[in-house]
Chain A
Amino acid sequence: MALFSSGGAGFRAAKGDLNLESVTKQFANFTAVDDLSLTVPRGSFFALLGPSGCGKTTTLRMVAGLEQPTRGRILIGDTDLTGSRPYERPVNTVFQSYALFPHLTIRDNVSFGPRRRGDSDAGKAAEDALELVQMSSFATRKPAQLSGGQQQRVALARALVNRPEVLLLDEPLGALDLKLRRQMQVELKRIQTEVGLTFIHVTHDQEEAMTMADTVAVMNAGRIEQMGHPEELYDLPRTSFVANFVGQSNLGVGDVTGTDGDNLVVEVAGTTVRIPKARSAVHSGRITFGVRPEKVRISSDQPTGAGNDVKAQVVDVSFTGVATQFLVTVPSGSTWAVYEQNLDVQRNTLRPGDPVWLEWDSGHAFGVEVDEAAAAEAQVAS
């Protein structure tokens, strides 16, 4: 049966949202992906962000069918794809290591997929895809004769040419220079919106994830820590891991001492701060208070506003053109970062060692659960 069927046989033309239901993947007794559930709406751009080894590639491989989940189900629309072979799925992968066919020319690499599906216009489709990634002039070369970035673009073309229901991109732009990367980001986004494909994009580059994706999921140790629209994710992290992984955060561990209207009153190392209840994941006991560096204002005089200020000392000043970045020591002993846009006519006169006051709008503050492991680490370090 399967032995003599052609490439197209067994193909499942599933359409719809991609659904992962409690997917778990274990290698021996190591859990690479841990009870992961998510829905990626059809035609959306979904970014997976996370540190190295957190299970991003493993997740993609399970969607592609290159790895079978230990538990859980994978569906596109109503079609359960769990257990089906890779060639049966309307899914294509841009491999992290490119994985181009070394014995085939660039053109034959790209037309490989369309040919297997019996596309009579495979050659033309390949030409178009190569055009898209600006690789047309290399069509007759072999992969070994291309640079890393060029190979990466061919890998992109080889997957894109199939217009799959779900396209999996495993760090597809990692080897490109900044200019080409920006260009490819725009191209990818254009293709994705034009053709309405579902993209799952793994990247280490937060900015890339933020600018391109409709939804960003932050993964850590095989689990999704938080998932949401990029702005939402940046504005209101729900765990201290996300607060640190997506952008920078100034954090301090304290205790909830009471409430004041819609705010929680929190005592952090002798300083009283306020967090809107709606912006806090914890409402009593120990809490990690956080505020983004650009939300903090720095001044040499005590502000007259109500409450959300703290005395600190400048440790370092670095001028970056558009902004000045300060590192300051707060009473708890930890170091905070503060970004000030260079709006004033007067130049900044603050120098390391100067006492300063920090101030922020309490509406920007957020509260997350104390990461005990990280806190213990900090304890040991101090």
Chain B
Amino acid sequence: MSALAHVGGGTPGAPDDGPPQERGGRSWAPYLLLIPGTIWLLVFFVFPLLQLFTVSLQSGFPGFPGYYYRDVNFGNYLDAITEFAPHFGRSLLYAGLATFFAFVLAYPLAYAMAFKAGKWRNVMMICVIAPFFTSFILRTIAWRQILADNGPVAETLKFLHLLPGGRITETWVAVVAGLTYNFLPFMVLPIYASLERADPKVIEAGGDLYANGLTTFRKVTLPMSLPGVIAGTLLTFIPAAGDYVNAELLGSDRSTKMVGNVIESQFFRVLGGFPTAAALSFTLMAIILAMVFVYIRKFGTEELL
């Protein structure tokens, strides 16, 4: 878990990162150790990416749907973005909402696990991880049953007159709920890891120095867990923005489709859709990269509050 918590640029208080050291002499060991990882990245990341990029610039043979020729057709991007702009918007919005709700749910849970659970800590940890033992497709289908029109949740809400639309599935609420549910552990675990590492004495010091519970949380506990929060939001937001399973299984065919659904259908169902799908993938990747970059620049080094 500690590797996850380091995504946000390292923990400021880790006892092992001592004063900066200078090394005399030059060692080849670090470079040798980098070789396997570099090869892995080249074979499984850079080459497919280049391949995808060339596909995204191909043009279709006129009159022969499904046949392409090599080209530098940036028009694919323009077409894809203009046609599927609402899907991009939904992807980012739903992923953002899911990240927000996951954070709101995960932080108290991680806090309780780190500081209050005592002997129940391991049980809670198992509860967080246990869902991974079944396929997330199956679990998402299960949610379709749970949220179904005459399922327990919808019936109860209808009875309380809290469900104006009359249904949960086929709406954005179900999609966001599904995303939140599916990525919750990725939020809980890094936050827990960083809270668990925080020295309780440091939190006590906040109280000793005239900060009440809320102030101590805002000024001490939360900033100390910030690396975990950053790791958790990234691990939730990035896959959620590219997800298509939740929108597919819980959403509606028209109004809740995300970019992932479009890419999936362009690749596998629409004849001649390859360049569009590839262009969409690339655009999504660029958007996410840009957002992550800004996010880390803003919060990764400075105090959150």
Contacts and interface: CB of A to CB of B under 8 A. Distances in A.
A374 interface: no
A102 B221 CA distance: 11
A113 B12 contact: no
Interface in A146-205: 146-147, 158, 162
17 contacts: A2-B212, A6-B215, A7-B211, A7-B215, A85-B212, A87-B207, A93-B205, A99-B201, A101-B202, A101-B205, A101-B224, A102-B224, A103-B12, A112-B219, A113-B209, A144-B12, A144-B13
Given A102-B202, A103-B223, A116 B211 contact: yes
A55 B13 CA distance: 28
Given A87-B208, A87-B216, A104-B223, 16 more contacts: A2-B213, A7-B211, A8-B210, A66-B208, A85-B207, A93-B208, A95-B204, A95-B205, A100-B202, A101-B205, A101-B206, A101-B220, A103-B12, A116-B215, A144-B12, A144-B13
Given A99-B202, A103-B12, A86 B208 contact: yes
B215 A103 contact: no
A3 interface: yes
A112 B13 contact: no
B199 interface: yes
Contacts of B219: 112
A220 to B, nearest CB: 25
B28 to A, nearest CB: 29
B229 interface: no
A102 B226 CA distance: 12
Given A7-B215, A87-B210, A144-B14, A103 B224 contact: yes
Interface string A1-28: 0111111111100000000000000000
Interface string A98-140: 0111111000000011001100000000000000000000000
A92 interface: yes
Interface string B84-128: 000000000000000000000000000000000000000000000
Contacts, number: 97
Contacts of B220: 101
Interface in A73-108: 85-87, 91-93, 95, 97, 99-104
B209 A116 contact: yes
Nearest to A3: B214
B205 A99 contact: yes
- What are the 6 closest A-B residue pairs judged by CB atoms, nearest first? A102-B13, A86-B207, A116-B210, A113-B209, A99-B201, A99-B205
A128 B305 CA distance: 26
Interface of B: 11-15, 17-20, 199, 201-202, 204-216, 219-220, 223-224, 226, 303
Interface of A: 2-11, 64-66, 85-87, 91-93, 95, 97, 99-104, 112-113, 116-117, 142-147, 158, 162
A119 to B, nearest CB: 10
A99 B210 CA distance: 15
Contact of B209 (A4, A5, A10, A162): A162
Contacts of B213: 2-3
Contacts of A97: 199, 201
Contacts of B18: 144
B209 A112 contact: yes
A93 B216 CA distance: 16
Contacts of A100: 202, 205
A4 B214 contact: yes
Most buried by A among B11, B14, B210, B216: B210
Nearest to B199: A99
A86 B212 CA distance: 8
Nearest to A97: B201
A158 B201 contact: no
A66 B215 CA distance: 16
A142 B207 contact: no
A105 B207 CA distance: 19
Contacts of B224: 101-103
B212 to A, nearest CB: 5
Nearest to B222: A103
Contact of A103 (B20, B208, B209, B226): B226
Contact of B11 (A85, A93, A99, A102): A102
A117 B19 contact: no
B12 A64 contact: no
Given A102-B12, A112-B219, A144-B17, A7 B202 contact: no
Contacts of A113: 209-210
Given A3-B214, A103-B12, A92 B17 contact: no
B208 A64 contact: yes
Nearest to B216: A87
Nearest to A168: B208
B14 to A, nearest CB: 7
A87 B199 contact: no
B212 A87 contact: yes
A146 B19 CA distance: 7
Contact of A66 (B11, B17, B204): B204
A143 B13 contact: yes
A209 to B, nearest CB: 23
Given A103-B226, A144-B12, A7 B207 contact: no
Contacts of A10: 212
A193 to B, nearest CB: 24
Contact of B212 (A5, A99, A147): A5
Contact of B210 (A66, A104, A117): A117
Contacts of A7: 210-212, 215
